[in-house]
Amino acid sequence: MAGVVEYFDELIATDQRVEPRDWMPDAYRATLIRQIAQHAHSEIIGMQPEANWLTRAPSLARKAILLAKVQDEAGHGLYLYAAAETLGVPRDELVDALLLGRHKYSSIFNYPTLSWADVGTIGWLVDGAAIVNQVPLTRCSYGPYARAMVRICKEESFHQRQGYDVLYTLTRGTREQRRMAQESVDRWWYPSLAMFGPPDAASTHSEQSMAWGIKRHSNDDLRQRFVDLCVPQAEVLGVTLPDPDLRWNDERGHYDFTPPDYDELMAVVAGDGPANRDRMRHRRRAHDQHQWVRDAAAAYAEKNR
């Protein structure tokens, strides 16, 4: 036993990857299952807000791009469930944990998409925040999660660019289109900042996850990096970020900004956001309606065995 413990400590200390065959502490395994499963569930639930606009995309090209994006999110969910399975937990168990409300998914997907501009803003801000959070995860100490994140981040970059392009087009359009873009950015700014989680002082897992090399940066550091990236992009778009206290701080070398309302974040995470009930109702219905697909796939696999 002592040998495997030392081997694990050595892998972490020398920034190498832990693989499924390696011994790992139970708490390391449990933390990874929690985070990877929550991440997978977020990708799956995250298809809903944008899928809501598939039938109303303003052109065939926009529709084809959005369809590809929503399908990518399904793919991300599947890679991530596969990465979680390498930790010894069957996929059925993970899916049940989501459907029974025992697992969380990202707060952001509990906000409704009220206008076409929201498709642009989600790409720009939500996928932009996801990239800032997830690029460091390509260096996560657990190999299968780190490798899954490489492809996911490349696809997220495309998603971010398509969102930016939607907003760029709207902000160069009619007065009504510019107003729609601004109104959307006003609604999504703070929920996007909240995606990074509670402030460091209130984050339950950050310290241990960073010591294990699962997380590489704290919630607040990533949030700051995101704000610093968004300000010049907002200027190019010609939208105003809805924070009167947003300004460059020469001393810190960062923008000062108003943090999101963490009580709202916790309420949304606890199930009380504007769209939590709809999201879960829809997911449970889709799961039940597609039982026949899982049955057919299992029967086919059995026949070929």
| Residues at the contact surface with ligand ACO, assessed by CB under 6 A | 34-35, 38-39, 42-43, 46, 104, 106-107, 126-127, 130, 133-134, 194-198, 203-206, 209, 215, 219, 269
Q: Which is nearer to ligand ACO, 161 or 205 (CB)?
A: 205
**For the chain, what is the total number of helices (H) and then of strands (E)?**
14, 2
- Determine phi and psi for 232, rounding to 5 degrees: -65, -30
Q: What is the spatial distance between Cα 214 and Cα 36, in angstroms, rounded to a whole number? A: 10
Of 207 and 295, which CB lies nearer to ligand ACO in the complex structure?
207
In whole angstroms, the minimum distance from the beta carbon of 3 to ligand ACO comes to 30
Tell the smallest beta-carbon distance from residue 122 to ligand ACO (Å). 9
User: Residue 58 is which amino acid?
Assistant: P
Cβ contact 135:9 at 8 Å: no
Q: Give 106 or 179: the residue with its C-beta nearer to ligand ACO.
A: 106
| C-alpha pair distances (Å), 230 with each of 53, 127, 136, 238, 264 | 25, 12, 18, 12, 22
Whole-number Å distance between alpha carbons of 150 and 146: 7
Residue number with CB closer to ligand ACO (138 or 240): 138
Q: How many CB atoms lie within 10 A of CB 150?
A: 12
In the complex, minimum distance from the CB of residue 10 to ligand ACO, in angstroms, rounded to a whole number: 24
**CB of 152 or CB of 170, closer to ligand ACO:** 152
Residue 192 C-beta: closest distance to ligand ACO, Å: 10
